[in-house]
Amino acid sequence: MSGLGASAQYWAWRTVSATVGRLPIRASYGLATAAGTAGYYLWPRGRRATHANFRRVLPGASQEEVRRVARRSLVNYCRYLADFVRFPRLGPGAVVTLVDGGTEFASLDKVLEGGRGAVIVCMHFGNWDLGAAATAARGYHPTVVADTFADPRLDAMVLGARERLGMRVVKVEQVGPSLLRALKRNGLVALLIDQPRDGDGVRVRFFGGEIAVPAGPARVALRSGAKVIPTAFARVEPGKPNVVTLCDFGVELPHSGDREQDIQALTQAIVASHEAFIRRYPDQWYMFRPMFVASGGEVAA
């Protein structure tokens, strides 16, 4: 909905919620497929940015393949939105059954035995809100960082939906010490890292190019000593909401003595893990803005 004005976003979301929330899942996915396909053809700016991103992700692919994956990405994003509308109506038990991740949650329990919590780092990929909801339903009570929508009515709707799914939501402009307090309680903090940053981000390598992403996940982990776990929740069947949990428990905190160098190294390790996830499921990465840094140092337009 990034191409719409603030008020238009609110009314679009009201309409989507009222419509999709009453439909059976098959019909809601049919509507999402139609909306995503139409959006692909009617949103030239987003289409160009998505093509540019996927040309990096799919080196050597034909232009037709790039277009096909880009179109499926927007369709999958619309299916994610349809799921987001429906999930607060489900009970915790039903949410848990939709997320295949028993081994990953067992490994998470071992991490939490250390008593320092964990920083879960996601991208706009698959169905991260379903993963967070299943995590909450399992009793972990994750603290998630979310952007604020320009229209306060839309912001309240989205915030309320996430809270009903069991998440504790902290706005990105209000994070402060609240994340550190959650980690001191041996909790989970979940952040997204693929928000492009123009001039103030950490520069890392990604699919052979350079991107600038937030330093927040690395800064929080290094200050707290919490384990960093790059995580994704990939949809496994197009017509079902079920996801499989992907985690990298091998990322270690660097200790060079140079804090900025450690932030860069940790951020690079996080992004490398997500690169591997995206290679497996490229059409489940939702990035409809320019991601890669041009030679002049700005995010490519």
What pLDDT score does 87 carry? 84
Report the distance separating Cα 61 and Cα 74, nearest Å: 19
Question: Is 289 part of any domain?
Answer: no
Q: Which tokens belong to 252?
A: 């270690």
Question: Is 117 part of any domain?
Answer: yes
Question: Is 176 part of any domain?
Answer: yes
What pLDDT score does 155 carry? 83
Report the distance separating Cα 271 and Cα 189, nearest Å: 17
pLDDT in 10s for each residue of the chain, 301 residues? 455 667 777 888 888 888 887 889 999 999 999 999 999 999 999 999 999 999 999 999 999 999 999 999 999 999 999 999 888 788 889 999 999 999 999 999 999 999 999 999 999 999 999 999 999 999 998 999 888 888 888 888 888 888 888 889 888 776 678 899 999 999 999 999 998 666 668 999 999 999 999 999 999 999 999 999 999 999 998 889 999 999 999 999 999 999 999 999 999 999 999 999 999 999 999 999 999 976 444 555 4
Question: Is 160 part of any domain?
Answer: yes
Question: Is 290 part of any domain?
Answer: no
Domain limits at 212?
A: 6-284
What pLDDT score does 296 carry? 46
What pLDDT score does 278 carry? 98
Question: Is 275 part of any domain?
Answer: yes
What pLDDT score does 58 carry? 98
Q: Which residues lie below 8 Å from residue 62, measured CB to CB, with a gap of 6+?
A: none
What pLDDT score does 81 carry? 92
Q: Which residues lie below 8 Å from residue 243, measured CB to CB, with a gap of 6+?
A: 98, 99, 100, 126, 127, 130, 131, 233, 234, 235, 236
Domain count, the chain: 1
Is residue 221 within a helix (H) or strand (E), and if so which, with residue range? Answer: helix 216-224
Give the three-class secondary structure for 73: helix
Question: Is 38 part of any domain?
Answer: yes
Question: Is 300 part of any domain?
Answer: no
Report the distance separating Cα 243 and Cα 265, nearest Å: 30
